[in-house]
């Protein structure tokens, strides 16, 4: 698809590719972030854990939006193609949720003690592998049929974290798609967020990764 030629007659879902790129990048980097925390450095562990917790929340809300909005809509209107693929997507969700539950179980203990870091890093690797498989399936089979998924995650996300999540998304985002997403925001947000959100993520990335330019996923 040219320019991810996704301006379909029924929906423009390029913003979903942008969100997927962000999750692909950030979850890929998480296992090494955990492994790099020195034994006993609970201050650094807290920085990594907060980032991990935010990513897990974004992922859960993204999938909740699919469960609540997208699957019923596709099953109702998507015909045989939707009937063939939705069960696979639901099965992948169960696998991702199981991996998230393990991460959620291990994260607090590691945060407070830095013990069992390898187990936590391994759990994040399992989560990343399952997520990657799911994103690939979704992008090839679901997004061409999709429409309104983004609204659910934004409405449920903690307001204080929205600028940072936007900055993470903008890091590799198509500027045209960013402008389209922001066009639905209030005027003040449209004026301020393009300046503030990238700076928030740059500061966050420097604390987290030691650089304002963490490794990119790049074109997919």
For 87-142, what is each residue's pLDDT tens digit?
888 899 999 999 999 999 999 999 999 999 999 999 999 999 999 999 988 888 77
Backbone CA torsion sign across 160, 128, 28, 40: positive
pLDDT at 146 over 60: no
pTM of the model as a whole? 0.74
pLDDT at 77 over 50: yes
For residue range 3-52, what is the model confidence (pLDDT) as tens digits?
344 333 334 556 778 888 999 999 999 999 999 999 999 999 999 999 99
CA distance 26 to 4: 21
For residue 177, how many other CB atoms are within 10 A of its CB?
A: 21
Ranges 38-52, 64-78, 187-201: which has the least confidence:
64-78
Residue 23, token pair as written in the block: 């999750």
Using 50, 70 and 90 to split pLDDT, how confident is the model at 154?
low
Question: If one looks up domain 2-157 in CATH, what number appears?
Answer: 1.20.120
Structure letter (DSSP) for residue 211:
S
Q: How much is the mean pLDDT over the chain?
A: 83
Using 50, 70 and 90 to split pLDDT, how confident is the model at 144?
low
**CA 142 to mean position of chain CA atoms:** 17
């Amino acid at each position: 698809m040219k320019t991810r030629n996704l301006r379909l007659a029924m929906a423009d879902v390029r913003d979903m590719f942008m969100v997927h790129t962000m999750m692909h990048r950030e979850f890929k980097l998480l296992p090494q972030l955990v492994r790099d925390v020195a034994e006993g450095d609970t201050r650094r562990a807290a920085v990594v854990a907060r980032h991990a917790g935010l990513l897990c929340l974004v992922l859960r809300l993204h999938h909740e939006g699919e469960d609540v909005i997208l699957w019923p809509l596709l099953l109702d209107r998507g015909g045989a193609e939707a009937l063939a693929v939705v069960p696979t997507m639901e099965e992948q969700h169960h696998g991702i949720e199981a991996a998230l539950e393990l991460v959620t179980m291990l994260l607090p203990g590691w945060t407070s003690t830095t013990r069992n870091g390898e187990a936590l890093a391994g759990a994040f690797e399992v989560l990343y592998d399952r997520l990657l498989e799911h994103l690939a399936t979704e992008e090839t089979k679901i997004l061409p049929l999709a429409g309104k998924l983004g609204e659910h995650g934004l409405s449920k996300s903690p307001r204080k974290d929205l600028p940072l999540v936007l900055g993470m998304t903008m890091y590799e985002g198509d500027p045209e798609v960013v402008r389209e997403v922001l066009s639905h925001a209030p005027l003040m947000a449209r004026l301020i967020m393009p300046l503030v959100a990238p700076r928030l993520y740059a500061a966050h990335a420097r604390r987290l990764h030691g650089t304002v330019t963490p490794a990119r996923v790049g074109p997919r």
